[in-house]
Copies of this chain bind each other. A is one copy, B any other.
Amino acid sequence: MSEAVSRPTLEAVAARAGVSRATVSRVVNGGDGVREPLVERVRQAVEELGYVPNQAARSLVTKRHDAVAVVIAEPETRIFTDPFFALQLRGISKELTAHDNQLVLLLTEGRDDHTRVARYLAGGHVDGALVFSLHLDDPLPGLIEGAGVPTVFGGRPGWSDGSNSAVYVDCDNRGGAQDAVRHLVGLGRRRIAHITGPLDQTSAADRLQGYRDVMGEPDPRLVVLSDFTVGGGERAMGELLDRCPDVDAVFAANDLTALGALRVLRERGRRVPEDVAVIGFDDVLPVTEQSAPSLTTVRQDIEEMGRLMARLLLRALTRGKPATGAPSSLILPTTLVRRASA
| A160 at the binding interface (Cβ < 8 Å) | no
Tell me how many chains of this kind the complex includes: 2
Q: Is the CB of A89 within 8 A of B102?
A: no
Q: Taking CB as reference atom, which chain B residue is nearest A60?
A: B56
| A65 at the binding interface (Cβ < 8 Å) | yes
| A54 at the binding interface (Cβ < 8 Å) | yes
A93 to B116, CA, bound (A): 13
Q: Is the CB of A124 within 8 A of B230?
A: no
Q: Which residues of B contact A116 (CB under 8 A)?
A: 97
| A318 at the binding interface (Cβ < 8 Å) | no
| A224 at the binding interface (Cβ < 8 Å) | no
Q: Is the CB of B52 within 8 A of A122?
A: yes
| A79 at the binding interface (Cβ < 8 Å) | yes
Q: Which residues of B contact A83 (CB under 8 A)?
A: 80-81
Q: How many residues of A contact B (CB 8 A)?
A: 50
Q: Is the CB of B148 within 8 A of A54?
A: no
Q: Which residues of B contact A102 (CB under 8 A)?
A: 104, 125
Mark contacts of A6-44 with chain B using CB atoms, 8 A cut-off: 1 yes-contact digit, 0 otherwise: 010000000000000000000000000000000000000
Q: Which residues of B contact A93 (CB under 8 A)?
A: 105-107
A145 to chain B, nearest CB (A): 10
| Cβ < 8 Å to B, chain A residues 159-201 | none
Q: Is the CB of B148 within 8 A of A4?
A: yes
Q: Is the CB of B54 within 8 A of A60?
A: yes
| Cβ < 8 Å to B, chain A residues 131-168 | 148
Q: Is the CB of A52 within 8 A of B105?
A: no
| Cβ < 8 Å to B, chain A residues 74-131 | 74, 79-81, 83, 85-87, 89-90, 93-94, 97, 102-107, 113, 116, 119, 122-125
Mark contacts of A65-78 with chain B using CB atoms, 8 A cut-off: 1 yes-contact digit, 0 otherwise: 10100100010000
Q: Which residues of B contact A125 (CB under 8 A)?
A: 55, 102
Q: Is the CB of A230 within 8 A of B290?
A: yes
| Cβ < 8 Å to B, chain A residues 306-340 | none
Q: Taking CB as reference atom, which chain B residue is nearest A66?
A: B125
Q: Contacting A60 at CB < 8 Å: which of B57, B94, B106, B231?
A: B57
Q: Which residues of B contact A2 (CB under 8 A)?
A: 148
A281 to chain B, nearest CB (A): 18
Q: Contacting A104 at CB < 8 Å: which of B53, B104, B107?
A: B104
Q: A56-B56, A59-B56, A81-B286 are in contact. Are A105 and B104 (CB under 8 A)?
A: yes
Q: Contacting A123 at CB < 8 Å: which of B55, B79, B85, B229?
A: B55
Most buried by B among A53, A59, A86: A86
Q: Which residues of B contact A74 (CB under 8 A)?
A: 90
Q: Is the CB of A105 within 8 A of B124?
A: no
13 examples of A-B residue contacts, CB within 8 angstroms: A2-B148, A52-B122, A56-B56, A57-B60, A80-B90, A80-B286, A81-B83, A81-B286, A89-B105, A89-B107, A90-B107, A93-B105, A231-B290
Excluding A55-B125, A103-B106, 18 further A-B contacts by CB distance (< 8 Å) are: A4-B148, A50-B122, A54-B124, A56-B56, A56-B57, A67-B104, A79-B90, A80-B86, A80-B286, A85-B86, A89-B107, A93-B106, A93-B107, A102-B125, A103-B105, A103-B107, A104-B104, A230-B286
